[in-house]
């Protein structure tokens, strides 16, 4: 048995990179994007090839297996292991050189594909293969799996783009595999020479034959290409430390032809016929995977066919030629790059969205990428659908139809014994079906554990025995990634679901999309790792803390993995009291970006609140939870005692402010925001209310508007009344001016709105700090106070996006037993939505100025900004707001220990967008946190859209 202390000490002495045998490091690498889970002994982050060789030497001495890991997005289980995991993303992640003349690049295995593409783009070049995980998958992982991507019909697989490799074998030998037997280990050539006949006849000639070892690349007529034969070996032959890869010339312009067919079979049968047009892509997907709101031509299935050219006209002409030559129900040619990206996003997110059936049922990988000859694809898909039906299973096929490669997630029951048994039976029958159609069990992601057991059905026992002999030449001790490809573990062993609790966990939130099951909510994370994207474009938010730190534990996936292990109880053994889970969640900003940006809708903000609720149950909480979690209480006390002036004066005295911040768990670098001398509701009660006959709208006096920025509330009243609406407030719910005229329903609404008094609160600060019992109490009191409002048709206008999001999502999910919460959520509108819906004929004042700033992260994730965009356009406010998160995120940026990450998040997108904006740009920031972050870090005052419009109405521009 391995002595872990000796192993760890030996690695620490031999390796200059990090050696981590802690619970968190191990938990983060138990899974990849597959159905499998293996618990490693430890994780090593090597700095260079010398470190790799040293780590292998120590592990060889102790007889411990080694697994090379890149982005951890493998779908067949090959990035997991029970020994030592080598993490190449931390240090060996550089682009070493790029030669535009030779069209080559030298890369390290941990380099993310998008970084290579960004470096190559200024030279008009790119790396040909581009999996949908291009923003986080690594070149080492792509070489290990022989990845392909949507452009493989034009540029082939990764093996087609590899020129030379640098490899360290398990025995410590350093080789440089290339063509002409370069870098071959001793004995490999002799093995191949004795099997020439088998290699020439026993391996199918498919463009997407990824299964098994590519031993036929060693045939003399194929140049005896050792580097090519190494591709797709899934880390079982040697450990890659460097690669020389070929680049291709990127077309200057592209067009996208979207071809619609009546059903999937028609699209599949048409795909092969499009190849003579030499398209860049032929991607297929059916209606059961496409969002209902997708802007696609009418049909039941679609092919995405991309064309290239030196000019936009040439690319478009090629796309139009394809449309003319295709027998389609409908078609669309798109040349606008932004619209192309939006359409491609549907396809790229499929690996995540396919994990949920339309009825919400979970679906899983395992048969993610079988490939058949393109001409057989239509027949294969019909047989595949019939096989699914015979087993009572469902799936939504999609993928690289031009190469005959099909991706699919299937609703296997992997939680029960009978379900797992059916998974095995189906897998065996599907393997036979793929072989019957002349196909390959893997067409892109490798065999791993998911399909390696079935390779004899595809190749026969003798060819599989040859693969084992190849493995023996490279790795005679079986040290590298055992259980993969040869001598594999059973396809139904090590399933990651088997360790989760069988009974629902007692939780506070309702988790309606997961049947109330917290385990099912955590299972949502399948590991596609979109949250690990280091640079985002457009309105995307997820995951700001990962982009700030670069650490897996601060990604949505990393946190989900730790929660999974917490539920499993094997690695993380102290359940809700876990300090490892607490520390990983500590830097979660609760931005809710994952709720919308994660393809499977992981909602880490809710999971964090749930965890904090249990973690601190019956225990003393951090000071910040009392200081900022109870902010509505403290500010209400200041308002009642009319001590805002004294509070502001004390906060401006350095030593006193320091004491307050220290006691309250507030970052010393932060300034304490000033409390308004006059609250919004006090201003409201003292104003001369204009008379009006419009529809009543209830303006929500959230804590921030009420006490910290009442100017936003005053501005909203000015604009809403200018639009002809009657504004009332829920605390007094008293209509001012003469009674409304109109029908009986309007008069009844007015009487109900005047019926009761009280204070309302959305509970946001309690939810974000995990004080869920208090949040429920506050929300129930709010619902009691709002009963007269809920009995009318009046909407609730919420100016603070985070409060609106809390009322729309947190309230009904936390009070899942109270139907009034769902009714309240349906009534919540943003400022812009109110004007769009209740004053459609109102014309805002024209400003004709550019805008800058940031769409609030909660607005992006929960509320949407379609109405805001329309309102800005009508006012002549031009330009786009950035995405991301401001980094303050409610109490997060104020909490002690968060300041640096908070600033890094702001520097990611918000602050650069403001600095780079024209001088006359209007700085928009609807959230109080966003405005505070801007002011404290740059001195720039951001404004709510209501303030901008109100100023224009008053002639202040």
State the pTM of this model.
Answer: 0.93
Q: State the chain's mean pLDDT as an integer.
A: 93
With a cut of 90, say whether residue 692 has pLDDT above it. Answer: no
3-state secondary structure of 896: coil
Burial profile 497-516: b = 16 or more Cβ within 10 angstroms, e = fewer: bebbeeeebebbbbbeebee
pLDDT tens-place string over residues 900-918: 999 999 999 999 999 999 9
Separation CA 606–CA 595 (nearest Å)? 9
Does the domain at residues 253-444 carry the CATH identifier 3.40.50.720? no
Query: Which of the 8 DSSP states describes residue 743?
Result: S
- What pLDDT sits at residue 290? 77
pLDDT tens, position by position, 185-244: 999 999 999 999 999 998 888 889 999 999 999 999 999 999 999 999 999 999 999 999
- SS3 (DSSP) at 69: strand
Taking residues 652-672, report their average pLDDT. 94
Relative orientation angle of helices 772-790 and 819-827, to the nearest 10 degrees: 70
Instruction: Say if strands 42-45 and 84-87 run parallel, antiparallel, or are unpaired.
Output: parallel
Gap between the Cα atoms of 456 and 450, Å rounded: 14
Contacts (Cβ under 8 Å, ≥6 apart) of 912: none
Indicate the pLDDT class of residue 535, thresholds 50, 70 and 90.
confident
pLDDT band, very low/low/confident/very high, at 429 (cuts 50, 70, 90): very high
Pick the CATH number of 4-87 from 1.10.8.60, 3.30.43.10, 1.20.1260.10, 3.30.70.2190: 3.30.43.10
- How far is the C-alpha of 485 from the C-alpha of 470, rounded, in Å? 11
Question: Confidence band (pLDDT; 50, 70, 90) for 744?
Answer: very low
Confidence of residue 356 (pLDDT cuts 50, 70, 90): low
DSSP H or E stretch at residue 42: strand 42-45
Quick: pLDDT tens for 777-790.
999 999 999 999 99
Query: What's the token pair of residue 864?
Result: 């949407």
Query: Helix or strand or coil: residue 886?
Result: coil
Share of residues in the chain with pLDDT > 90 (%): 88
Query: Mapped to the 3 state alphabet, what secondary structure does 93-157 carry?
Result: CCEEEEECCCCEEEECCCCEHHHHHHHHHHHCEECCCECCCCCCCEHHHHHHHCCCECCHHHHCC
CA distances 203 to 231, 457, 484, 919, Å, are 16, 13, 19, 65
d(CA 949, CA 326): 51
| Burial class (CB within 10 angstroms; exposed 0-12, middle 13-18, buried 19+) of 786 | buried
Q: How far apart are CA 425 and CA 393, in angstroms?
A: 12
Q: What pLDDT, on a 0 to 100 scale, did the predictor assign at position 758?
A: 47
pLDDT of residue 202: 85
Side-chain-side CA neighbours of residue 765 (13 Å)? 23
Residues 792-825: tens digit of each pLDDT: 999 999 999 999 999 999 999 999 999 999 999 9
More confident residue, 745 or 930: 930
Q: What is the pLDDT of residues 280-302, one digit of tens each?
A: 999 999 887 777 667 889 999 99
Say if residues 219 and 77 touch (Cβ distance below 8 Å).
no
Find, among 548, 565, 562, 556, the residue nearest to 600 by Cα.
Answer: 556
Mean pLDDT across 413-439: 96
Integer Cα distance of 789 and 752 in angstroms: 7
**CATH number for the domain running over 95-249:** 3.30.465.10
Instruction: Look up tokens 């696609």; give the residue.
Output: 296
């Amino acid at each position: 048995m391995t002595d872990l202390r000796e192993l760890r000490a030996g690695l620490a002495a031999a390796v200059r990179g990090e050696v981590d045998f802690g619970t968190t490091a191990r938990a983060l690498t138990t899974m990849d994007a597959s159905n499998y889970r293996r618990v490693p002994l430890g994780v090593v982050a090597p700095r260079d090839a010398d470190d790799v060789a040293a780590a292998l030497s120590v592990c060889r001495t102790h007889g411990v297996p080694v697994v090379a890991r890149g982005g951890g997005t493998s779908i067949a289980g090959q990035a997991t292991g029970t020994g030592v995991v080598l993490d190449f993303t931390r240090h060996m992640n550089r682009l070493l050189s790029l030669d535009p003349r030779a069209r080559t690049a030298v890369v390290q295995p941990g380099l993310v594909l998008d970084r290579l593409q960004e470096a190559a783009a200024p030279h008009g070049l790119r790396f040909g293969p581009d999996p949908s995980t291009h923003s986080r998958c690594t070149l080492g992982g792509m070489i290990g799996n022989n990845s392909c991507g949507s452009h493989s019909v034009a540029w082939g697989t990764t093996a087609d783009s590899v020129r030379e490799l640098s490899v360290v074998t398990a025995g410590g030998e350093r080789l440089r595999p290339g063509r002409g037997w370069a870098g071959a280990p001793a004995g490999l050539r002799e093995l191949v020479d004795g099997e020439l006949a088998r290699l020439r006849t026993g391996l199918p000639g498919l463009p997407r034959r990824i299964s098994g070892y590519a031993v036929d690349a060693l045939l003399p007529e194929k140049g005896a290409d050792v580097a090519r034969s190494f591709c797709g070996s899934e880390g079982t032959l040697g450990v890659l430390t460097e690669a020389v890869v070929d680049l291709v010339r990127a077309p200057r312009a592209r067009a996208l032809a979207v071809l619609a067919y009546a059903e999937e079979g028609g699209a599949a049968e048409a795909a092969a016929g499009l190849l003579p047009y030499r398209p860049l892509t032929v991607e297929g997907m059916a209606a059961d995977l496409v969002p209902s709101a997708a802007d696609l031509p009418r049909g039941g299935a679609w092919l995405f066919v991309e064309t290239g050219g030196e000019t936009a006209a040439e690319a478009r002409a090629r796309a139009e030629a394809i449309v003319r030559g295709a027998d389609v129900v409908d078609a669309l040619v798109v040349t606008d790059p932004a619209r192309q990206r939006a359409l491609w996003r549907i396809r790229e997110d499929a690996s995540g969205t396919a994990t949920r059936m339309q009825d919400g049922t979970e679906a899983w990988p395992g048969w993610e990428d079988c490939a058949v000859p393109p001409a057989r694809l239509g027949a294969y898909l019909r047989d595949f659908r019939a096989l699914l039906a015979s087993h009572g299973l469902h799936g939504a096929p999609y993928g690289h139809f031009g190469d005959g490669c099909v991706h699919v997630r299937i609703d296997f029951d992997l939680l029960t014994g009978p379900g797992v048994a059916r998974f095995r039976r189906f897998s065996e029958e599907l393997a036979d079906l793929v072989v019957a159609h002349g196909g390959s069990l893997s067409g892109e992601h490798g065999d791993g554990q998911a399909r390696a057991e079935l390779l004899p059905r595809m190749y026969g026992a003798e060819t599989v025995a040859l693969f084992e002999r190849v493995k023996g030449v490279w790795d005679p001790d079986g040290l590298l990634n055992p259980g993969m490809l040869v001598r594999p573990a059973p396809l139904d062993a090590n399933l990651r679901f088997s360790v989760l609790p069988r009974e629902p966990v007692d939780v506070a939130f309702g988790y309606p999309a997961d049947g109330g099951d917290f385990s099912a909510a955590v299972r949502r994370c399948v590991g596609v790792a979109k949250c690990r994207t280091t640079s985002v474009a457009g309105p995307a938010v997820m995951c700001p803390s990962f982009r700030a730190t670069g650490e897996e534990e601060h990604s949505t996936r990393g946190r989900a993995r730790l929660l999974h292990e917490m539920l499993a109880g094997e690695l993380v053994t102290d359940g809700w009291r876990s300090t490892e889970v607490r520390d990983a969640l500590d830097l979660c900003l609760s931005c809710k970006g994952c709720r919308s940006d994660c393809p499977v809708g992981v909602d880490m903000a809710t999971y964090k609140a749930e965890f904090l609720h249990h973690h601190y149950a019956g225990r003393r909480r951090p000071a910040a939870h009392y200081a900022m979690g109870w902010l509505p209480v403290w500010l209400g006390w200041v308002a009642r005692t009319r001590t805002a002036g004294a509070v502001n004066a004390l906060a401006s005295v350095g030593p006193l402010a320091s004491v307050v911040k220290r006691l309250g768990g507030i970052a010393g670098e932060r300034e304490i925001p000033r409390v308004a001398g006059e609250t919004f509701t006090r201003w409201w009660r003292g104003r001369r209310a204009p008379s009006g006959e419009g529809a009543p709208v209830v303006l929500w006096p959230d804590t921030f508007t009420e006490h910290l920025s009442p100017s936003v509330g005053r501005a909203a009243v000015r604009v809403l009344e200018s639009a002809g609406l009657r504004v009332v407030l829920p605390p007094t719910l008293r209509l001012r001016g003469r009674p409304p005229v109109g029908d009986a329903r309007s008069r009844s609404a007015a009487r109900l709105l005047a019926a009761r008094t009280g204070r309302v609160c959305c509970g946001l600060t309690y939810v974000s700090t995990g004080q869920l019992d208090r949040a429920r109490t506050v929300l129930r009191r709010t619902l009691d106070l709002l009963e007269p409002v809920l009995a009318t048709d009046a909407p609730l206008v919420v100016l603070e996006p985070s409060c609106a999001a809390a009322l729309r999502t947190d309230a009904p999910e936390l009070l899942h037993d109270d139907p009034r919460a769902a009714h309240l959520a349906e009534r919540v509108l943003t400022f812009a939505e109110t004007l769009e819906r209740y004053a459609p004929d109102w014309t805002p004042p024209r400003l004709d100025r550019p805008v800058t700033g940031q769409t609030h992260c909660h607005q992006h994730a929960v509320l949407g900004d379609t109405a805001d965009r329309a309102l800005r356009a009508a006012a002549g406010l031009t330009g786009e707001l950035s995405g991301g998160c401001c980094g303050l995120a409610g109490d997060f940026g104020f909490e002690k220990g968060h300041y640096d990450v908070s600033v890094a998040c702001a520097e990611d997108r918000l602050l650069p967008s403001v600095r780079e904006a024209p001088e006359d740009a209007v700085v928009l920031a609807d959230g109080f946190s966003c405005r505070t972050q801007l002011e404290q870090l740059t001195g720039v005052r951001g404004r709510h859209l209501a303030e901008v419009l109100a100023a224009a109405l008053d002639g202040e521009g």
